[in-house]
Structure 1
C-alpha cells in the first residue's frame, strides 16, 4: 500500500466542502490513516512549500495557505499518489476533467481546493512534515 498526503485547502474548508471531499475520498476506496485540522502560520506554509521559494507565486501561496483552517490527511491505497492526483484533477480547475475535485470545488488556479503529493519522495517529506509515525493508524 502506498501513502500520500492530501490537503483540503482553506478555500474549500471555508466554503463548507470538507465533508463532500472526505466523502469522495472514502467512495474512491482510500483509507484515511491520519487526519488533522490545522491553521498554518505563514512560516509553516513557507516550510511546507519550500520548493516554490523564489517563484512569483510563492508569497501568494504562503498567504493563502495561512489564511484559514485546512485539513491535512494521509491517504493509503494501492497507487495512492496517482489515484489521488487523478481524483484531484488538473491544477487549474478550468482545465480539470468533470468529476474531479478541483472541477467541482476549485474556483481558480490559486484557489483549487486540494493538494496532493506528486511523487513518493515528496509524499515522504509531506507526510513527515505534519505527522509523526505514531500519528498514523
Structure 2
C-alpha cells in the first residue's frame, strides 16, 4: 500500500480560537503522520491562486478576507488514503451541517469560518502541497508506533 500526503490548513478561525493543538491531536491520534507544519500569513496572490475555482462567486472576497485575518497553520499529513481519511474527519463544509464528532461538527457553526481547509483529491493534494510547502519543508521519518498502525493485508 502506498502512503498519500494531503494538505490541511488550520484557518484563522481555528488559530484565533486556540484550537490548533486539539485539531492536530485528532489527526495524530487517528494514526496520520505529520510530515510538515508551518505558520504563515496568506497573501492575496496566494489566495487568488488557491481559490481560483471560486473567483466568480459572490463570496470570493469574503473568503480571502477571512483567510488573511490572522496567520494560518499549514500542515502536511501522510497515511494510507490520507485525503479521504482527513476529509471524513473534517466533516461537511458548512459547520451547521457537519456531523458531531467531526472537526467542523464539533468546532464550527459557519459555512465560511469552518476551521480547516483540506485537499479534496489525491491529485489536488499534490498541487496544494507544492503551493504551500517547498520540498525541504516536507519530512520523511519513522514513528515509533508505526508497527501498531500496520496496514498489511488490507485492500
TM-score range, shorter chain: over 0.9
- Which of residues 39, 42, 47 is equivalent to 1:40? 42
**2:89 maps to which of 69, 87, 103:** 87
Map of 1:62 onto structure 2:
64
Matched ranges for 1:1-137 at <5 A: 1-137=3-139
Higher Cα Rg, which structure: 2
> 1:4 touches 1:127 (CA, 8 Å); kept in 2?
yes
SS where residue 93 of structure 2 aligns? coil
Q: Give, in whole Å, the separation in 2 of the partners of 1:78 and 1:128.
A: 20
Give the TM-score of the pair, scaled to structure 1: 0.96
Partner of 2:148: none
Aligned residues: 137
- Kept in 2, the 8 Å contact 1:3–1:75? The answer is yes
Task: Return the TM-score normalized by structure 2.
Answer: 0.85
1:43 is displaced (CA, Å) by: 2.4
5+ long unaligned stretches in structure 1: none
Q: Where has structure 1 moved over 4 Å in runs of 4 or more?
A: none
Distance in 1 separating the partners of 2:79 and 2:53: 26
Q: Deviations over 1:10-44 (max 9, x none)?
A: 01110000110011111111101011101112222
> Is contact 1:3–1:74 with CA below 8 Å preserved after alignment?
yes
CA RMSD of aligned residues (A): 0.9
The structure whose residues are more often helix, as a share, is 1
